[in-house]
Structure 1
Amino acid sequence: MYDPIKAQEGLTPDFLKNIQNQIESVILSKASAYFTPEGTAYTQNNPALKKGEMVVNFYDYQPCCASVLGLLSANGNEEALTIVRRLIDNVRYYIGEAREKEGFSNSLRRSQLHLVIAYERLKNILPESEASEWAKVLTQSGADMLDHFSNLQERVPALDNRGFGTGINHVAIAAEGIYKSGVALNRTDWQDTASAFNDRLIAYGHPDGYFEEHTNDAREGGPSLVYTPLTAGCANLIEIWRGQRDQARFETCGTFFRNFMDTHLKTMPFTDERANPHGLGCYGIAIHALSPEGRGLLRLHLDQVNFENMSLEYLARLHLEIDHMETGNGAVPEPLQDRQYRITMPLGVVHAQSWTMGLSAMKALNRETSPNSDYALDRQTLLFLSHPEAGTLISGTKSKHDVGWSTVRKGDDAYPVRTGELDIQTDRATAIVHYETFTVTATWIFGEEPRLVFSTDSPDTLTTQLVLETPMGTPFTIDGNTTATFGDDASTIDGVTTVATEKWGITADQAGRLIWYVAPFNPYSDGNKSTPNTRRPVFAVDWTNHLEFTFRTPL
């Protein structure tokens, strides 16, 4: 449980400086262990990753540490300087010899900014010839980025993934690096190019406070809580550097994001059109410092971060974001308030009587626009449910080409085919969701023991599947008298009406089955395989016309 009084302390210069000091105290040893003289992309990363993910992690993501290492180097740390030199050498190899030798084709994206910051911090300390060589390499990598991202000129007038044929977050990150490179390398043309792109990006962003990734002309894609912070965060920094940030515009981004967090300050996977978010990342985190509620959130969140467990990229980006944070008093953040929130599209959340309940009637658009992309999961889940003491019961995690994760299905008809409707009242929230051959109504009825009601006019038998956020090894009590603990082997228990753990219980008004297990789809791993500890049970009930679940916490 988070302390609302602590939230009201907000952000002070001393608090933020202490966070940066913690980052500086751990980043060097982590960088030394990762960027060893003999290390490669294939030796320094998790072997389960796709080869391409290993490459970008080694040459682009983790080298973001250069900005903080540059600060340490400027203060006389020779080990830090040695690593920054190694990172510059890696850039030279990555955009040069490796293209032919290893078949690399991506430009830098994330690390260009941090390498340029390191250059700014060290150019007057380095030998003149070395500083000139760094500037030459970073000019080459900047030009390579501009070439890779079509000189930041979209091919269609849509600043989402259609504009460049890749994630718009990638382009926003590149623009941030190009702008800063223009400042450091005296390329005003680069500043102008990045500024013009940023103007168009901000104008295109959804008024509700998010930047779309996969969408269409009707803008039915909806938000991504994983990737909107990257896009918004980079746009925010460019506007700060230009001295013309529209504070209200970016406050809206922070408000949007915070409202889709629960009382554990975790984000809700059911909201995201393409990924499965679970927490507050490092990109765009400075946006929250624009409001008292956001500063309250940051005070609570940053107090809990274990910096030893964070990646080099996370540490460096957070350090940078803190440099651009407002200080001031805080307030109780939205996730800890009783409130209702929805966006224009049928996606909303209610915090009531300690429960956080989410509901969606969004279309599964990615099945039309990106059916074969590992990085565009299927929007197939309708629900979220969590409680301060019981934790998350239903996260709304989504998968790819796997109907076992869909909230409602009739065989393989398991994905909403058009945008539905959402209505939130004082005592309930109702979604009307359209599938290919049937329409279903899903209703949260608020209370100390919330109820979830499904109904349909279809005469056919439907199946509701509640994927439960309980990991392998969790003891279950079935119908009050049978216990079960699941391990490596798949199994199913039939004739189940009540499923309970020591933290919560769920009762259906008709018998179903407890299925162990469904396995998540991992976009980043080789073969999309997930680890066994991510497997989840499913409470599935076949029904016609009407079905009701009741949720409770232990007495």
Structure 2
Amino acid sequence: MSSHFKPGDLTMDTLGRLSQDALYYHEGRTEPIPQELSQYAHQMSVPAGIRKTGPWVVCLSGLISTQAVTSQFYLDRQGSLSIFHEKLGLIVTGANSKRQPELATFSESVQGQIFHMPISSRLQMGEEYDRLSLAFNTFFGDLKVSRPSPEQVAFRVVITGKGRPAEEAQLTLQLCLKAGETLETGAGKKIAVGTERVTLGPEDLGGWIRHHGWTLRVDPTARLIWPVYPHNPYANAPETSLEYAVSALSVPLRQKAQPGKHIRSNEQEISFVLQAH
């Protein structure tokens, strides 16, 4: 292998890689990587996991980490769900950000302060569905992803209220829209995705959106905003290119205090169905 490199071009990093190859190489047959299999699943020792089922790849993350407000490179662990399709690409991104609670999977406003990172979490992965449970100050959120079929993946969020409700709370999905293509809604709207700001309320969405070969059926109270530019750690500022923009699809959490009940089970259920066509 070393014969493919010129002595003058060898760096310490390259030499280290060659040494690793020499140390770990052994004769034997090759096996396909997990991404080439029709289905696979892996759950980490921390609350994060990945599952591929046919053309769908779903990632769930309940990683807990404190904020590092003085570091522009240490992002807030606020994204919990990613959905990828082998032909359509990344549809829902669970990318983290910084100083952008509006892109967090969950956020709550308590006593005038916004919290957008979970306090604790638990991940359970099984044959019928995968379940990510996240705890916040005023609610528990259970994200349940059913086993996908070749055509669609269904997932739902069950909210259990806790104590005094937040002044405001919401669930948000980061959608990957393609500039230059059309966004269609169940209310009959057709919008060219570009630099112009788009704000669509429940009456504009009409229960579903269609874009780039997929359709997402959403909660009747959902709202959509485009574009939102995520944090760029190298610039320590939001991205400026439309290539990196996402759309924020949010659903308000309906919390209501009940005298004598600190825990309010199944206070709200939010369902989604993502179809490829």
TM range (shorter): 0.7 to 0.9
Say if 1:366 and 1:377, in contact at 8 Å, map to a contact too: no
SS at match of 1:404: helix
What residue is the counterpart of 1:383 in the other structure?
A: 81
Counterpart among 120, 140, 144 of residue 439 in structure 1:
140
TM superposition shift of 1:525: 2.3
What residue is the counterpart of 2:129 in the other structure?
A: 428
**How far, CA to CA, are the matches of 1:527 and 1:445 in structure 2?**
37
Higher RCO (C-alpha 8 Å, min separation 6)? 2
Q: Report which of the two has the higher share of helix.
A: 1
What residue is the counterpart of 1:524 in the other structure?
A: 234
Change (3 A) 1:239 1:69: closer
Read off the aligned partner of 2:269 and give its amino acid letter. H
1:416 correspondence with 2:137: no
Task: Give the CA RMSD over aligned residues.
Answer: 2.8
Change (3 A) 1:439 1:68: farther
Read off the aligned partner of 1:433 and give its amino acid letter. L
Q: Report which of the two has the higher share of strand.
A: 2
Say if 2:209 and 2:217, in contact at 8 Å, map to a contact too: yes
Say if 1:341 and 1:348, in contact at 8 Å, map to a contact too: yes
Counterpart among 475, 482, 485 of residue 192 in structure 2:
485
Read off the aligned partner of 1:458 and give its amino acid letter. G
**How far, CA to CA, are the matches of 1:474 and 1:366 in structure 2?**
38
**How far, CA to CA, are the matches of 2:51 and 2:190 in structure 1?**
33
**How far, CA to CA, are the matches of 1:432 and 1:406 in structure 2?**
15
Q: Which runs of 5+ in 2 are unaligned?
A: 255-267
**How far, CA to CA, are the matches of 1:372 and 1:399 in structure 2?**
14
Say if 1:413 and 1:437, in contact at 8 Å, map to a contact too: no
Say if 1:417 and 1:435, in contact at 8 Å, map to a contact too: yes
Change (3 A) 1:327 1:485: farther
Change (3 A) 1:504 1:480: farther
Read off the aligned partner of 1:395 and give its amino acid letter. T
TM superposition shift of 1:526: 6.2
Q: How many residues align?
A: 250
What residue is the counterpart of 2:182 in the other structure?
A: 475
Counterpart among 353, 361, 369 of residue 54 in structure 2:
353
1:332 correspondence with 2:32: yes
SS at match of 2:158: strand
**How far, CA to CA, are the matches of 1:527 and 1:407 in structure 2?**
21
SS at match of 2:183: strand
TM-score by structure 2 length? 0.80
**How far, CA to CA, are the matches of 1:483 and 1:477 in structure 2?**
5
Change (3 A) 1:480 1:70: farther
What residue is the counterpart of 2:261 in the other structure?
A: none
**How far, CA to CA, are the matches of 2:271 and 2:33 in structure 1?**
32
Say if 2:135 and 2:141, in contact at 8 Å, map to a contact too: yes
TM superposition shift of 1:520: 1.5
Counterpart among 441, 444, 454 of residue 157 in structure 2:
454
Say if 1:510 and 1:547, in contact at 8 Å, map to a contact too: no
TM superposition shift of 1:329: 4.4
TM superposition shift of 1:239: 5.8
- Counterparts of 1:169-180 in structure 2, within 5 Å, are none
**How far, CA to CA, are the matches of 1:327 and 1:515 in structure 2?**
54
Largest Rg, 1 or 2: 1
Say if 1:472 and 1:536, in contact at 8 Å, map to a contact too: no
Read off the aligned partner of 2:153 and give its amino acid letter. P
TM superposition shift of 1:422: 0.6
**How far, CA to CA, are the matches of 1:529 and 1:422 in structure 2?**
32
- Counterparts of 1:143-222 in structure 2, within 5 Å, are none
Say if 1:408 and 1:462, in contact at 8 Å, map to a contact too: yes
**How far, CA to CA, are the matches of 2:28 and 2:183 in structure 1?**
46
Change (3 A) 1:505 1:68: farther
Say if 2:55 and 2:85, in contact at 8 Å, map to a contact too: yes
Counterpart among 354, 363, 372 of residue 70 in structure 2:
372
What residue is the counterpart of 1:404 in the other structure?
A: 102
CA-to-partner distance for each residue in 1:32-87, whole Å, 9 max, x for gaps? xxxxxxxxxxxxxxxxxxxxxxxxxxxxxxxxxxx75825xxxxxxxxxxxxxxxx
Say if 2:177 and 2:193, in contact at 8 Å, map to a contact too: no
**How far, CA to CA, are the matches of 1:491 and 1:508 in structure 2?**
17
Change (3 A) 1:387 1:239: closer
Counterpart among 190, 199, 208 of residue 498 in structure 1:
208
Say if 1:403 and 1:414, in contact at 8 Å, map to a contact too: yes
TM superposition shift of 1:240: 6.3
**How far, CA to CA, are the matches of 1:359 and 1:398 in structure 2?**
13
**How far, CA to CA, are the matches of 1:345 and 1:451 in structure 2?**
24
**How far, CA to CA, are the matches of 2:51 and 2:62 in structure 1?**
15
Say if 2:47 and 2:123, in contact at 8 Å, map to a contact too: yes
Read off the aligned partner of 2:158 and give its amino acid letter. S
Change (3 A) 1:327 1:395: farther
Change (3 A) 1:551 1:237: same
What residue is the counterpart of 1:548 in the other structure?
A: 271
1:466 correspondence with 2:176: no
What residue is the counterpart of 1:536 in the other structure?
A: 246
**How far, CA to CA, are the matches of 1:528 and 1:493 in structure 2?**
22
What residue is the counterpart of 2:257 in the other structure?
A: none
Say if 1:347 and 1:360, in contact at 8 Å, map to a contact too: yes
**How far, CA to CA, are the matches of 1:331 and 1:239 in structure 2?**
20
Task: Point out 4+ residue stretches in structure 1 off by more than 4 angstroms.
Answer: 236-241, 326-329, 526-529
Read off the aligned partner of 1:452 and give its amino acid letter. F
Say if 1:389 and 1:503, in contact at 8 Å, map to a contact too: no
TM superposition shift of 1:550: 0.5
TM superposition shift of 1:437: 2.9
SS at match of 1:457: strand
SS at match of 2:195: coil
Say if 2:219 and 2:251, in contact at 8 Å, map to a contact too: no
**How far, CA to CA, are the matches of 1:524 and 1:327 in structure 2?**
42
SS at match of 1:464: strand
